[in-house]
Structure 1
């Protein structure tokens, strides 16, 4: 199972991106996206205690190194994919800085808040959100697939009950999204997730 944990800082990511076939100006767009993500997420951390930016850069790394994505709007949306869900940022704010396409992709991958209280309400809202992603455009699905790879590649570091639940959720909802992409990108994601599924088969 290929891991994507090298781009822990923007400086490392930027150095590798400079060697990629990006269009003129794309690196500047991504630099602005990283700066905006830093501003919006602030001191937010991952469950491990690592800066939240590491997750965003891992998602970017999956797209660039793994799926060979060069579309700057998809890449910028990957960096910004959690700002509306987890910070005070709005879709309108994202659109004002990065345009309607990036804002739409971020909107698609933003899970709405649960309407009820308690664990069951939250899980129902999450399932509804994941089912809705079947209707998302391929570009938004691509962002979500990369986001989930960042989260599940180190699943064994999480508590056992979370591991089993997240494994089942990924197999049920995320693998079919990968299989829904008909191009080489979809084949890459499908192959990665199948490798991941074998690696964590003991959770099934």
Structure 2
């Protein structure tokens, strides 16, 4: 494994110490580790992309800055992570969830293809772990995922788009069974 990737894995583990995933109570770092593992399988995978996958939530959830990431991992990694960071909560504190997500989608339309690839992987992994989430939240998250796919991620990587759509449909089927 590349030294930079190993360094990023250790950094992510330290930054996410004490955090757990919603609905599963698994250590949070398992999520970026899975996203990075999927990123390694992409045809255009390289160390900066895999590092960004490992670090994709540290600005948003851990108080790390893009400048710190650039100093530790280089500007390519920092740029991708910065592109993936949702800023709507900070920039629009009075906005409701739907408004914030619309702002996030509008911003994500203009990010790099590499950031969009990681956003696809992030969303796929989030949905794979969402089976125990309350049905009301799952419904909302599925609607947001569809909008993200249609408005932002369409045309980025057909196989990943199909995988995301399959996860959305799987959850929609589960929700339909719960209502029956």
The answer for the alignment partner of 2:159 in structure 1 is: 188
Q: Distance in 2 between matches of 1:123 and 1:194?
A: 20
TM-score by length of 2: 0.86
1:52 alignment partner, one of 4, 28, 46: 28
Q: Unpaired segments of 5 or more residues in structure 2?
A: none
Q: CA deviation at 1:174?
A: 2.8
TM-score by length of 1: 0.77
Deviations 1:56-89 (A, max 9, x none): 1111122224x34421111100100000000121
The answer for the alignment partner of 2:168 in structure 1 is: 197
- Size of the aligned set, in residue pairs, is 172
- Aligned 8 A contact 1:175 1:190 in 2: no
The answer for the alignment partner of 2:37 in structure 1 is: 61
Deviations 1:157-200 (A, max 9, x none): 2111111000000011135433222xxxx021122123223323
The answer for the alignment partner of 2:5 in structure 1 is: 30
- Aligned 8 A contact 1:85 1:110 in 2: yes
Q: 1:175 to 1:54 in 2, by over 3 A?
A: farther
The answer for the alignment partner of 1:171 in structure 2 is: 146
Q: Distance in 1 between matches of 2:136 and 2:168?
A: 17
Q: Distance in 1 between matches of 2:44 and 2:32?
A: 15
- Aligned 8 A contact 2:105 2:152 in 1: no
Q: Which deviates more, 46-55 or 190-199?
A: 190-199
Q: Distance in 2 between matches of 1:177 and 1:75?
A: 21
The answer for the alignment partner of 2:16 in structure 1 is: 41
Mapping of residues 142-181 of structure 1, within 5 Å? 142-181=117-156
The answer for the alignment partner of 2:66 in structure 1 is: 91
1:127 alignment partner, one of 102, 109, 112: 102
SS across alignment from 2:10: helix
CA RMSD of aligned residues (A): 1.9
The answer for the alignment partner of 2:116 in structure 1 is: 141
- Aligned 8 A contact 1:69 1:75 in 2: no
